[in-house]
Amino acid sequence: MAERRGAKVASIVAAAWDLAHREGIGGVTLHGLARAVGMRQPSLYAYFDSKNALFDAMFADGNRQLLERLEAVRLPREPRAALKAFMRAFVRFVVEDPTRYLLLFQRPVPSFVPSPASYEPAQQFLARTVELLRAAGVEDLGDIDCFVAMIAGLVDAQIGNDPGGRRWIRHLDRLIDLYIDDAIQRRSHDR
């Protein structure tokens, strides 16, 4: 049965996340991970071809968690409320696990480049965001860029300067309104 093997791989990835939470992403070493799962370091190569493959599995796992979470969100019919609900869920996902956010969105491991397959869910998330933005009246590509950058700036500041708090993310709803209103106003002005 290949099921056994898959379960084992999943448990190793889970242990890797646990290790990353305690020691930071850079603290994830094959020696440490092997110790955490009760194995010797070379034995890990039965499950991952390289350390990069391990990171890629973690990256894919994190993206899977993200999509799973966002797909579970009940979106209101009203476009603006839907966008807010969606972004709130994203922000909650991010701040509840800064380490995961770092690996998924900040590339803290210079040598690691995610494979296209692992990267695809992240693009899916961005596409969904753009879709909701458009529905809410933000269609200009520049406006979308600004919105995405603003969200990133907000969560970065939150995680970097006030982890566990709400100093920055408490402004999320208000800023969303600000950006949407501005985009709509400028769109009507351009006509």
Partner DNA sequence: GTCTATACATCGATAGAC
Partner DNA sequence: GTCTATCGATGTATAGAC
* d(C-alpha 9, C-alpha 14), whole Å: 9
| Residue/partner pairs of 121-128 with CB below 8 Å, 24 or more apart | 121/60, 121/63, 121/64, 121/66, 121/67, 122/63, 122/66, 124/67, 125/63, 125/66, 125/67, 125/70, 125/90, 128/70, 128/86
Among 39, 175, 184, 187, the residue binding its own copies under the rule CB under 8 A is 175
21 versus 187: smaller Cβ distance to DNA: 21
Burial class (CB in 10 A: 0-12, 13-18, 19+), 155: buried
178 binds its own copies (CB under 8 A): yes
Please list every residue from 20 through 79 that binds DNA, using CB under 7 A.
Answer: 27-32, 34, 38-43, 45-47, 50-52
Among 54, 132, 168, 176, the residue binding its own copies under the rule CB under 8 A is 168
* d(C-alpha 130, C-alpha 178), whole Å: 17
26 binds its own copies (CB under 8 A): yes
Only one residue has tokens 């397959």, namely 117
Among 104, 133, 144, 151, the residue binding its own copies under the rule CB under 8 A is 151
Joined together, the tokens standing for residue 145 give 């860029």
Site stretch for its own copies (CB under 8 A), options 28-36, 46-54, 69-77, 146-154: 146-154
Site stretch for its own copies (CB under 8 A), options 48-56, 89-97, 112-120, 153-161: 153-161
Backbone dihedral angles phi then psi of residue 49, each to the nearest 5 degrees: -65, -25
Residues contributing to the site for DNA (CB under 7 A): 5, 8, 27-32, 34, 38-43, 45-47, 50-52
Residues contributing to the site for its own copies (CB under 8 A): 24, 26, 110, 142, 145-146, 148-154, 156-157, 167-168, 170-171, 175, 178, 182
